[in-house]
C-alpha cells in the first residue's frame, strides 16, 4: 500500500493519492486531476511514491498527512481531505457553481413531479394486491394471498380462502375446543397459566444456576432478561449452569 504524488510538469500542481496495488499507470482518480490530464496530456505528468505502509489505518491517516503537508487542496488538484472518503464539494474550486446548479435542479417542477409520482406508485404497489406493473406487465405477488397489512382487505385472497381453506367442512375436536377456551379465558388463573405453559410444545423447562423454571418465558420474566438471552445461554457451552431439563 503506497502514498504517491502526481505532478503536472507544466504548472507544478500536484495530486496526493493512495493505491493498494501500486499500479504505475495509475495517476489518480481526482475529478480535477482527470480534467487536467485531458487538458495537458498524460505525458505531462509524472508519478512518484512518497511513502509505503503495511497497516491500512496508518495508510489512510498518512494520506491525510501528506495532503496537508503539501497543501495539495489549495495548491494542487486534491479536493478532499483524504483517508477513507470525504467532502468533495467544500474544497472544490467551482463549489458555488455546483451548489447553485444543484439548487436549481431540485427546484425543477418536473423532478418534484416525478418524485411524487414515484412515491404514489410505491404506495399503490404496497397496498393494492391486484396491482399490475404497467411497464413489465407483471402481476403483484400478493394476488391470491393476504397482503399482511392490517385494515387493508384483499378481496381476491378472501375468495381464494373460501375454496381452499384447509378447515373447510371440518371442526375442531372437543379436546382442542377445550384447550382454546382455556387459553382465551380472561383473566387467567396462575394454575391455568402453568397448564398452558406446560402443554405448549415450544415451552421447555430449563435449569439455571440450580433453579428449575417451567419455561424459557417464565425464566426470562423472573431473571429480567430477554427470552433470546435465556435460549442463547442455555445452548451456549460456556454457561455450564444453564441447560434444558
Among 64-73, 122-131, 170-179, 217-226, the minimum mean pLDDT is found in 122-131
pLDDT band for 144, please (50, 70, 90 cuts): very low
pLDDT value of residue 151? 47
CB 166, CB 174: distance < 8 Å: no
How do residues 90-100 score in pLDDT, each as one tens digit?
555 666 776 67
The structural domains of the chain, ordered by start, are: 1-113 (3.40.1440.10), 198-245 (no CATH)
The string of DSSP letters for 124-140 reads HHHH-TT-B-TTT-PBP
Higher pLDDT, 108 or 46: 46
Higher pLDDT, 105 or 132: 105
Task: For residues 79-88, give the mean pLDDT.
Answer: 66
pLDDT band for 235, please (50, 70, 90 cuts): confident
pTM: 0.39
The string of DSSP letters for 159-187 reads HHHHHH-TTTT----HHHHHHHHHHH-SS
Residue 142's nearest CA partner among 197, 99, 195, 133 is 133
Task: For residues 119-148, give the mean pLDDT.
Answer: 52
How do residues 1-51 score in pLDDT, each as one tens digit?
899 999 999 999 999 989 888 888 889 888 888 989 999 999 999 999 999
CB 81, CB 64: distance < 8 Å: yes
Among 65-74, 108-117, 126-135, 213-222, the minimum mean pLDDT is found in 126-135
User: Sign of the C-alpha dihedral, residues 168, 173, 177, 183?
Assistant: negative
Amino acid at each position: 500500500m503506497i502514498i504517491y504524488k502526481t505532478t503536472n510538469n507544466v504548472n507544478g500542481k500536484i495530486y496526493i493519492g493512495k493505491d493498494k496495488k501500486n499500479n504505475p499507470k495509475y495517476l489518480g482518480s481526482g475529478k480535477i486531476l482527470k480534467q487536467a490530464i485531458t487538458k495537458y496530456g498524460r505525458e505531462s505528468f509524472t508519478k512518484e511514491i512518497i511513502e509505503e505502509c503495511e497497516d491500512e489505518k496508518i495508510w489512510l491517516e498518512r494520506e491525510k498527512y501528506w495532503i496537508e503537508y503539501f497543501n495539495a487542496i489549495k495548491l494542487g488538484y486534491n479536493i478532499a481531505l483524504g483517508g477513507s472518503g470525504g467532502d468533495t464539494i467544500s474544497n472544490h474550486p467551482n463549489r458555488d457553481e455546483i451548489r447553485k446548479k444543484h439548487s436549481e435542479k431540485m427546484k425543477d417542477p418536473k423532478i418534484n413531479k416525478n418524485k411524487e409520482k414515484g412515491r404514489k406508485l410505491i404506495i399503490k404497489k404496497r397496498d393494492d394486491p391486484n396491482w399490475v406493473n404497467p411497464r413489465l406487465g407483471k402481476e403483484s405477488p400478493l394476488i391470491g394471498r393476504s397482503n399482511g397489512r392490517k385494515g387493508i382487505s384483499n378481496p381476491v385472497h378472501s375468495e381464494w380462502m373460501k375454496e381452499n381453506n384447509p378447515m373447510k367442512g371440518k371442526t375442531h375436536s372437543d379436546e382442542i375446543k377445550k384447550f382454546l377456551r382455556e387459553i382465551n379465558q380472561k383473566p387467567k388463573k396462575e394454575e391455568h397459566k402453568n397448564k398452558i405453559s406446560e402443554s405448549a410444545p415450544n415451552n421447555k423447562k430449563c435449569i439455571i444456576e440450580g433453579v428449575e423454571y417451567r419455561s424459557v418465558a417464565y425464566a426470562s420474566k423472573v431473571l429480567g432478561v430477554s427470552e433470546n438471552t435465556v435460549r442463547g445461554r442455555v445452548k451456549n457451552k460456556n454457561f455450564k449452569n444453564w441447560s434444558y431439563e
